[in-house]
Amino acid sequence: MKKLRVLALMHPDLVPPDDAERYSEAERFEWKTEWDVVRTLRAMGHDVRALGVQTELQPIRAAAEEFKPHVAFNLLEEFQGNVLFDQNVVSLLELLKVPYTGCNPRGMVITREKALSKKLLIYHRIHVPAFHVFPVGRKSKRPRGLSFPLIVKSLTEHASLGISQASLVNTEDELMERVAFVHRRIATDAIAEQFIEGREIYVGVLGNERLTALPPRELVLEHPQTDAPLIATEKVKHDLEYQKRHGVEQKSAENLPPHVEGTIAHVSKRIYRILMLSGYARLDYRLSGSGQLWFLEANPNPEIAEAEEFASAAKQAGIEYPDLLQRILNLGMRGAAAE
């Protein structure tokens, strides 16, 4: 295997310290993804430079000229505190002719705006829950065809930011209160979509032109606090103590209905292409009690830590973590045009 110069781009607060091994699991939790990627690539023999960037683009240009990376491993989820600006960093890499891992700017634009991606998929007859957008600063009311219960989210933020059990609403007053909460706290437009009671299913897709759909994974709570419906809240996703207390885990999605098991890989690849994704992505679904699979959203450049959904699905498919990262590097260097 050729030794590569890898420029790993990440938030400055998430750059792993040189003595990361001495930190506990809880202390490493915030930067576990960056640590897993950097240490694994270095163990594979690659020359990895971790670069924290957030407010200025110049450090990327300087590193590209001085370090001359074979590829940039993009671990950024935002720039200048704005999730919509991550596409601009990737566009800069394209202008600098630096190959990069993960999704291209076009796919990011489409998938970051949840309503846009849903509209595209509705056109292609993919099952998507009914939804409505509530813009900041404008009066808007629930359309007649949008019935309760609804789940209210930020239109553009990801990683379950702002999602809690209170996001699930059953009355007009609860809906307006939660929309106002999203506007006030997250400062983005809100989207309310039909809540699908059922199982939370994730499918990872890897590739540019030739695609590999990884085995589906499922989010479960072994020790739920109440009998409330399962929701991937901010605590479920990012609170280590909460995860341990309630037995939050993602595992192989077993006993799927035969028609879902037989088509979910094909549907996921189709969605991936419609949304112009590349590199790797995770597609989120809900599986209703009646056996209908509903697409929720796509996550370009999803969580890539060794213990998270994407890498776990790859391991289930026989792809060990170092091999997964090498595939991601190779896809980045080949570009989205050919493999």
* Mean pLDDT, 10 residues at a time, the chain of 339 residues: 94 92 86 96 98 95 97 95 92 96 96 94 97 91 92 84 84 94 93 94 96 96 71 66 72 95 98 98 96 96 93 97 98 68
Q: Match 């002719």 to its residue by tokens.
A: 97
Write the CATH number of the domain with boundaries 5-100.
Answer: 3.40.50
Rounded distance between C-alpha atoms, residue 331 and residue 101, angstroms: 7
Instruction: Quote the pLDDT of residue 31.
Output: 94
Write the CATH number of the domain with boundaries 130-194.
Answer: 3.30.1490
Instruction: Quote the pLDDT of residue 45.
Output: 97
Domain boundaries, the chain: 5-100, 130-194, 197-334
- Residue 268 in tokens: 């996921």
Tens-digit pLDDT profile for residues 284-299: 999 999 999 999 999 9
Instruction: Quote the pLDDT of residue 212.
Output: 98
> End-to-end alpha-carbon separation of the chain, Å?
18
- Residue 267 in tokens: 């549907």
Residue 320 has a CB neighbour count (10 Å cut-off) of 13
Instruction: Quote the pLDDT of residue 47.
Output: 98
Rounded distance between C-alpha atoms, residue 154 and residue 229, angstroms: 20
Q: Is 200 left (phi over 0), alpha (psi -120 to 50) or beta?
A: beta
- DSSP letter assigned to residue 214: P
- DSSP letter assigned to residue 230: P
Write the CATH number of the domain with boundaries 197-334.
Answer: 3.30.470.20
- Residue 8 in tokens: 């790993």
Instruction: Quote the pLDDT of residue 339.
Output: 37
Residue 164 has a CB neighbour count (10 Å cut-off) of 14
Instruction: Quote the pLDDT of residue 29.
Output: 85
Rounded distance between C-alpha atoms, residue 180 and residue 108, angstroms: 26
- Residue 19 in tokens: 């003595």
CA dist list (Å): 191 to 8, 162, 216, 308, 332:
33, 12, 26, 26, 33
Q: Match 């979509």 to its residue by tokens.
A: 193
Rounded distance between C-alpha atoms, residue 213 and residue 235, angstroms: 28
Instruction: Quote the pLDDT of residue 230.
Output: 74
Instruction: Quote the pLDDT of residue 145.
Output: 87
* Kind plus residue range of the DSSP H or E element containing 66: helix 58-67
